[in-house]
């Protein structure tokens, strides 16, 4: 089994249309006043300073926020095709990476140690590896992809993202974790209210 000599590229997907939420949720404020996307990034950037955020062209507030904090961002011209389109553009923009750790901007509770454990699993595994965290039997995010998945990831489109790549039995390695944040995302305003109640 070969091992990768460098950490994977972290892709933070933030280009969704948030139709269920009713507004762009990436800049929604948490109880401490921080925008949602920065709350997510604060658990990533100390370990992976070179995060690449994928966004849409019209997300001007988000882009300004990322520039202000020195975070790289690219515009996805295929975000209209769903998560698969933005993921494809993110991989295409970092095609030389040793692998990818795909995270979601609306999951601020994922713990730093979970990101680190997934990265280390990718670095120690074969280039064909896919790994994902599992909390109490439920698969969550972020999801790690070895370098050999680059071509397949660049072909994605649709709202299911890379889900079909994980649907094949034994196609991915589960990383058991005690991190409920891997299965908690914010799709509705009520979930943001729930999060803020827990933080206040």
Residue 4, pLDDT > 80, answer no
pLDDT at 2: 42
Helix extents (H) in the chain: 36-41, 60-68, 83-92, 112-124, 150-154, 163-166, 189-199
What is the spatial distance between Cα 12 and Cα 149, in angstroms, rounded to a whole number? 17
- Compare 120 and 4 and report the one with higher pLDDT: 120
pLDDT for 169: 66
Task: Quote the mean pLDDT of the chain.
Answer: 91
pLDDT in tens, 61-75: 999 999 999 999 999
| CA–CA gap between residue 193 and residue 2 (Å, rounded) | 45
Residue 164: what pLDDT?
78
pLDDT at 60: 95
Q: How confident is the model at residue 200 (pLDDT cuts 50, 70, 90)?
A: low
Top-ranked range on mean pLDDT: pick from 13-17, 103-107, 166-170: 103-107
Band of residue 161 on the pLDDT scale cut at 50, 70, 90 = low
Q: Which residue has the higher pLDDT, 198 or 92?
A: 92
How confident is the model at residue 159, as a pLDDT?
67
pLDDT in tens, 31-45: 999 999 999 999 999
**Please, what are the domains in the chain?**
9-199 (3.90.550.10)
Give the position of tokens 């590229």.
9
């Amino acid at each position: 089994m070969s091992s990768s000599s460098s950490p994977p590229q972290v892709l933070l997907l933030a280009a969704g249309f948030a139709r269920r939420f009713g507004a762009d949720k990436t800049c929604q404020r948490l109880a401490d006043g921080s925008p949602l996307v920065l709350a997510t990034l604060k658990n990533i950037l100390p370990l992976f300073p070179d995060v690449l955020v994928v966004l849409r062209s019209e997300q001007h507030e988000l882009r300004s926020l990322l520039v202000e904090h020195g975070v790289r961002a690219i515009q996805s011209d295929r975000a209209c095709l769903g998560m698969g389109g933005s993921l494809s553009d993110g991989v295409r923009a970092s095609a030389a990476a040793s692998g990818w750790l795909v995270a979601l901007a609306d999951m601020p509770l994922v713990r730093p140690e979970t990101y680190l454990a997934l990265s280390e699993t990718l670095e120690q595994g074969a280039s064909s590896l896919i790994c994902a965290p599992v909390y109490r039997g439920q698969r969550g995010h972020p999801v790690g992809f070895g370098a050999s998945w680059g071509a397949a990831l660049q072909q994605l489109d649709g709202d299911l993202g890379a889900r079909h790549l994980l649907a094949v039995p034994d196609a991915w390695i589960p990383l058991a974790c005690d991190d409920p944040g891997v299965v908690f995302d914010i799709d509705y305003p009520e979930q943001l209210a729930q999060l803020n109640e827990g933080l206040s």
